[in-house]
């Protein structure tokens, strides 16, 4: 809902005049849900199906609880306001609301849960108020959202909540920050286990400048894996909050 | 029966609800709301219907003459597999009811329809250590937040409209045996909580937090020898050792694991500006390991709410050897004697004695037994200290694995346990939910191990009578006389409510919510809720009608520790429900 309000505030007025004239093009994946999600996630705002938003996922989910997903909107570098991702046929479809700010490229790697074969979407809002929707399909045997957590079967898991493993890997003109956060990411769909998931993360620089902001949802896998591409050097901090109010603060090279 | 006096509030409440419906912004809970509760009959914003915990409602639309017309308005399920052990008192603010369920859950429900507005489930670790079931006794409200304590000893603040976590603080380490089961309270802008864990050798403490952000403001340990602190700008400043120094009433290092957990929370008296908290048993149970009075175990404490300083204490069971926690609520009330107003406070202790104290200084005014059988003491001396019957203290084990066993009454679950009594300002009587039972108890050797039970005792609980354990009693705190009693087959474990309508409400493990004539004890109404009633009933006014709500859901300590008593209760079924009753408008006029 708040996405929609933001959208109205930020984007509706300037685009209203020529909204009708934008041709979204053909949906590259077969979907029975697009109209629903266009309304629910994007508030019926103007959009285009755009193959410049690359959504990379394996053709088949070998492990439906840990499906690697890469969202690449670097074609819109400098223009991106936010990136929303969802899995259309998941019972809890939302994956992430990613806002790359200073020095962070519009690229994100994340692992997700898949309940069944589904279209995946990443909608990139650019500064001109238009959503660019990247799409892909993933096949799956299924059950990734309702399978019990692996973490919880390990004794003492509570002691490790919020522990962050991470490192920086230099590329040519940027470096890739990869992290894994210990957290069960319980989505509330396993009987008797309430929702318990990281819902907010911030990446900050050593001088406390906000580099990126993420809202996370329970479609993200347990022990979330995240990767960001960052321009420039310097230590980073990852600040994490879960829906139980636990806060974690990790320094990463 | 006609009641012209009712007209005005009736119209006023209609007006109020019309204002609410027209979209007027709803007010946040203020310090004034809390201190004046339950003056505004449309809301209940304190645990205890007022900070003094009298559980007296000034409402009389519903009264002893028309209570037979009280009928269910709606019911709400605590759902799923987590039905058992519902012990909370609901709160009502702006037509929304807030309460906790077992397993550290919080619910917000539309008070008119029973429709669920939101639910918060704390994610508990696997190794929580509640001694006595997964219960919780309710929320506190302040500003736009709803507060409660969790079984893993956290204090959590939720947004009242969404149920989302605003902040969460670890009050103590659950791996040491700490948990929180009582409702916190907010006094003068401070959120105050106790902790549970006396069965694990924790060190009891009372802590105050900033309700806005969860910053710790002060902490007061309840065991002699431990330093208290106040916090300024995040820095801990020493504020005096509880009891002055270690070792005065404890031998050796035992004070380091002394228990005395204030697990039932507390109340507040605005007239003396004192927090009134009770403390639990000293650890371990085996009293031969800790000669001395073991302060401040099994005591009532009066604290300065600004910094947690102990202003006075009264120890009901010094050198407790029977698990006679002194946690039971100390209820402030005033009475006149010889033309002088006495600021008193009363408590019905686990140990079987009813105490009346001077709440300005903690001095003993009078005390008397409120159950039929007390064997551990022969009476109280002029200061209220028990005169022990030494034969009733279980023997030291010595080199044997087990010391000599003795039969003692009351049982360790107490002549009265956690379930709060009520004080009726019109009758001047306390309505005390009590139990008649005894126990065989013996001591064993024990060494402290972090997070493990630290008892050093064995026990089995026994009913004293074939036909009843529970007794709801009306007690005159001035004369010590029992004015009436109502027996119940199973042990009573639910809170009591009394009203200006000459009514007393309480529930039974058999599942009945019952109403009694406050003056005579005649049972005037009952309703079968489907499962044992352990909650504390409340009453309030909405749209000109008087409502009554209570949680139902059998569980709590009795089925876990029940000994021979277990036979009486083993067939009681679980079923977690919130029941709401009302007296329909057109039936008020009829009587």
pLDDT, tens digit only, all 591 positions of chain B = 334 444 444 444 444 444 444 433 468 999 999 999 999 999 999 999 999 999 999 999 999 999 999 999 999 999 778 899 999 999 999 999 999 999 999 999 999 999 999 999 999 988 898 888 999 999 999 999 999 999 999 999 999 999 999 999 999 999 999 999 999 999 999 999 999 999 999 999 999 999 999 999 999 999 999 999 999 998 999 999 999 999 999 999 999 999 999 999 999 999 999 999 999 999 999 999 999 999 999 999 999 999 999 999 999 999 999 999 999 999 999 999 999 999 999 999 999 999 999 999 999 999 999 999 999 999 999 999 999 999 999 999 988 889 999 999 999 999 999 999 999 999 999 999 999 999 999 999 999 999 999 999 999 999 999 999 999 999 999 999 999 999 999 999 999 999 999 999 999 999 999 999 999 999 999 999 999 999 999 999 999 999 999 999 999 999 888 788 988 998 898 899 999 999 999 888 666
Mutate to test the interface with B, among A160, A198, A245 (most CBs of B within 10 A): A245
Cβ neighbours of B156 in A, within 8 Å = 244-245
Domain ranges of chain A: 48-252
Give the model's pLDDT for residue B6: 41
B143 pairs with which residues across the strands?
B29
DSSP assignment letter at B376: S
Q: pLDDT digit string (tens) for B54-112?
A: 999 999 999 999 999 999 999 999 977 889 999 999 999 999 999 999 999 999 999 99
Neighbours of B436 (CB within 10 A): 21
Class of domain A48-252: mainly beta
Residue A151, min C-alpha distance to chain B (Å): 12
**A223 vs A113, A149, A151, A237, B101, CA distance in Å?**
12, 10, 8, 18, 29
In whole angstroms, what separates CA B380 from the centre of its chain?
A: 25
Domains and CATH numbers, chain B: 31-587 (2.140.10.10)
Predicted local confidence at residue A147, as pLDDT: 84
**Overall average pLDDT of the A3-22 stretch:** 52
Q: If contacts are CB pairs under 8 Å, which of residues 137-196 in chain A contact chain B?
A: 152, 157-158, 184, 186, 188, 191-196
Of B81, B127, B156, nearest to A192 by CB-CB distance is B81
Mean pLDDT of chain A: 90
DSSP H helices in B326-427: none
Write the CB contacts of B48 (distance below 8 Å, at least 6 apart in sequence): B54, B55, B89, B267, B329, B420
Sign of the dihedral defined by the CA atoms of residues B120, B121, B125, B127, in that order: positive
Examine the residue annotation and report whether B323 is marked as an active-site residue of this protein. yes
Q: Which two tokens stand for residue B192?
A: 């105050």
Alpha-carbon span A18 to A14, nearest angstrom: 9
Sheet with B56-57, side-by-side order of all strands:
B56-57, B496-499, B503-507, B512-517, B523-528
Q: Give this complex's ipTM.
A: 0.78
For residue B340, what are its two tokens? 């002088």
Euclidean distance between the first and the last CA atom of chain B, given in angstroms as a whole number: 5
Q: Tell me, what's the pLDDT at B126? A: 86
Helix (H, G, I), strand (E, B), or coil: what is residue B36?
helix
**DSSP code per residue over B139-176:** -EEEBTEEEEE-TTSEEEEEETTT--EEEEEE-S-GGG
A2 touches chain B (CB under 8 A): no
Query: Quick one: chain A helix, strand, coil %, rounded to 5?
Result: 15, 45, 45
Judge: A192–B168 Cβ closer than 8 Å, yes or no: no
Angle (CA) B227-B233-B235 rounded to 5° is 30
- What confidence tens digit (pLDDT) does each residue in A210-245 have? 999 999 999 999 999 999 999 988 899 999 999 999
Cross-chain Cβ contact A245/B127 below 8 Å: no
**Res B12: pLDDT:** 44
The rounded distance, in Å, linking the Cα atoms of B536 and B425 is 19
Cβ-Cβ contacts under 8 Å for B233 (sequence gap 6 or more): none
Q: How far is B136 from chain A (nearest CA, A)?
A: 17
Is residue B10 classed as helix, strand or coil in its secondary structure? helix
What HEC string does B219-265 produce?
EEECCCCCEEEEEECCEEEEEEECCCCCCCCCCCCHHHHCECCCCCC
pLDDT at residue number A153: 79
Count contacts between A and B (CB, < 8 Å): 35
Which tens digit of pLDDT belongs to each residue from B252-280?
Answer: 999 999 999 999 999 999 999 999 999 99
Q: Which of B320, B323, B325, B349 is catalytic?
A: B323
Residue A182, classed as helix, strand or coil, is coil
Give the predicted TM-score (pTM) of the model. 0.89
Strand partners, B141: B146
Q: What is the pLDDT of residues A139-176, one digit of tens each?
A: 998 888 888 778 777 888 888 999 999 999 999 889 99
Hey, what long-range contacts does B488-491 have (CB within 8 A, 24 or more apart)?
B489/B568, B490/B532, B490/B558, B490/B568, B490/B569, B490/B572, B491/B413, B491/B435, B491/B437, B491/B558, B491/B565, B491/B568, B491/B569
Detail the residues of B annotated as belonging to a binding site: 137, 199, 281, 323, 417-418
Q: Looking at chain B, which residue has its C-alpha nearest residue A160? A: B125
How close does chain A come to B115, measured CA to CA in Å?
A: 20
CB neighbours (10 Å) of residue B573? 11
Alpha helices, DSSP H, located in B254-399: none
Interface test with B, best of A244, A246, A247, A248 (most B CBs within 10 A): A244
Q: What is the pLDDT of residue B7?
A: 41
Mean pLDDT of A94-100: 98
């Amino acid at each position: 809902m708040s996405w929609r309000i933001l959208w109205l505030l930020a984007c509706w007025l300037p685009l209203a005049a020529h909204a009708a004239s934008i041709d979204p093009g053909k949906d590259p994946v077969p979907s029975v849900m697009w109209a629903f999600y266009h309304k629910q996630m994007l508030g019926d705002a103007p959009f285009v199906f755009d193959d410049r938003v690359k959504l990379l996922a394996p053709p088949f989910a070998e492990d439906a609880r840990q499906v690697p997903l890469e969202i690449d909107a670097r074609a819109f570098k400098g223009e991106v306001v936010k990136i929303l991702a969802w899995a259309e046929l998941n019972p809890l479809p939302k994956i992430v609301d990613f806002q790359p700010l200073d020095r962070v490229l519009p690229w994100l790697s994340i692992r997700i849960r898949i309940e069944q074969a589904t279209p995946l979407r990443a909608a990139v809002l650019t500064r001109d108020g238009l959503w660019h929707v990247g799409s892909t399909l993933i096949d799956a045997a299924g059950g990734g959202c309702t399978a019990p957590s692996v973490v919880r079967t390990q004794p003492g898991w509570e002691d490790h909540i919020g522990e962050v493993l991470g490192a920086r890997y230099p590329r040519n003109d940027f470096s890739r920050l990869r992290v894994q956060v210990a957290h069960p990411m319980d989505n509330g769909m396993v009987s008797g286990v309430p929702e318990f998931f990281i819902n907010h993360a911030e990446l900050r620089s050593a001088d406390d400048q906000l580099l990126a902001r993420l809202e996370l949802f329970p479609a993200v896998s347990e022990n979330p894996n995240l990767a960001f591409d960052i321009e420039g050097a310097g230590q980073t901090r990852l600040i994490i909050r879960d829906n139980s109010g636990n806060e974690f603060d990790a320094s990463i090279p | 029966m006609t009641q012209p006096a009712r007209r005005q509030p009736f119209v006023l409440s209609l007006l109020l609800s019309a204002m609410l419906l027209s979209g007027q912004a709803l007010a946040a809970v203020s310090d004034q709301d809390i201190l004046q509760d339950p003056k505004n009959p449309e809301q209940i914003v304190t645990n205890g219907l007022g900070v003094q915990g009298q559980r007296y409602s000034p409402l009389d639309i519903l009264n002893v003459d028309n209570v037979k017309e009280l009928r269910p308005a709606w019911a709400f399920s605590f759902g799923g597999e987590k039905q058992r052990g519902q012990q909370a008192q609901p709160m009502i603010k702006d037509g929304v009811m807030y309460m906790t369920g077992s397993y550290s859950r919080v619910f917000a429900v539309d008070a008119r329809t029973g429709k669920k507005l939101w639910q918060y489930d704390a994610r508990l670790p696997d190794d929580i250590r509640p001694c006595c079931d997964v219960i919780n006794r309710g929320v506190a409200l302040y500003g736009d937040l709803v507060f409660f304590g969790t079984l893993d000893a956290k204090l959590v603040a939720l947004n009242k409209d969404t149920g989302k976590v605003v902040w969460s603080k670890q009050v103590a380490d659950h791996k040491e045996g700490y948990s929180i089961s009582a409702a916190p309270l907010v006094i003068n802008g401070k959120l105050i909580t106790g902790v549970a864990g006396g069965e694990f050798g924790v060190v009891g403490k009372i802590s105050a937090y900033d309700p806005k952000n969860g910053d710790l403001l002060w902490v007061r340990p309840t065991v002699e020898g431990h330093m208290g602190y106040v916090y300024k700008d995040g820095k801990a400043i020493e504020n005096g050792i509880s009891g002055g120094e270690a070792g005065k009433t404890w031998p050796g290092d035992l004070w380091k694991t002394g228990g005395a957990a204030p697990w039932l929370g507390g109340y507040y008296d605005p007239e003396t500006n004192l927090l009134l908290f009770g403390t639990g048993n000293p650890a371990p149970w085996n009293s031969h390991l800790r000669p001395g009075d073991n302060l401040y175990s099994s005591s009532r404490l009066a604290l300065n709410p600004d910094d947690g300083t102990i202003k006075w204490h009264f120890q009901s069971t010094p050198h407790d050897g029977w698990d006679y926690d002194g946690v039971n609520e100390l209820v402030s009330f005033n009475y006149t004697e010889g033309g002088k107003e006495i600021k008193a406070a009363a408590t019905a202790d686990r140990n079987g004695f009813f105490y009346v104290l001077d709440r300005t200084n903690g001095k003993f005014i009078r005390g008397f037994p409120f159950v039929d059988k007390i064997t551990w003491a022969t009476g109280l001396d002029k200061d209220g200290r028990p005169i022990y019957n030494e034969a009733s203290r279980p023997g030291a084990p010595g080199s044997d694995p087990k010391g000599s066993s003795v039969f003692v009454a009351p049982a360790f679950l107490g002549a009265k346990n956690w379930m709060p009594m009520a004080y009726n300002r019109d009758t001047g009587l306390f309505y005390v939910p009590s139990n008649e039972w005894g126990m065989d108890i013996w001591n064993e050797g024990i060494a402290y191990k972090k997070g493990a039970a630290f008892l050093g005792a064995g026990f089995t609980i026994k009913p004293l009578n074939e036909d009843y354990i529970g007794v709801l009693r009306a007690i005159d705190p001035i004369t010590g006389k029992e004015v009436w009693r109502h027996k119940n087959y199973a042990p009573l474990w639910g809170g009591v409510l009394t009203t200006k309508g000459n009514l007393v409400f309480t529930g039974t493990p058999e599942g009945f919510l019952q109403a009694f004539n406050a003056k005579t004890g005649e049972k005037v109404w009952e309703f079968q809720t489907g499962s044992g009633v352990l909650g504390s009933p409340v009453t309030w006014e909405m749209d000109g009608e008087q409502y009554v709500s209570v949680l139902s859901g059998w569980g709590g300590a009795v089925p876990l520790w029940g000994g021979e008593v277990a036979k009486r209760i083993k067939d009681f079924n679980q079923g977690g429900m919130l029941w709401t009753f009302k007296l329909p408008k057109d039936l008020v006029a009829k009587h």
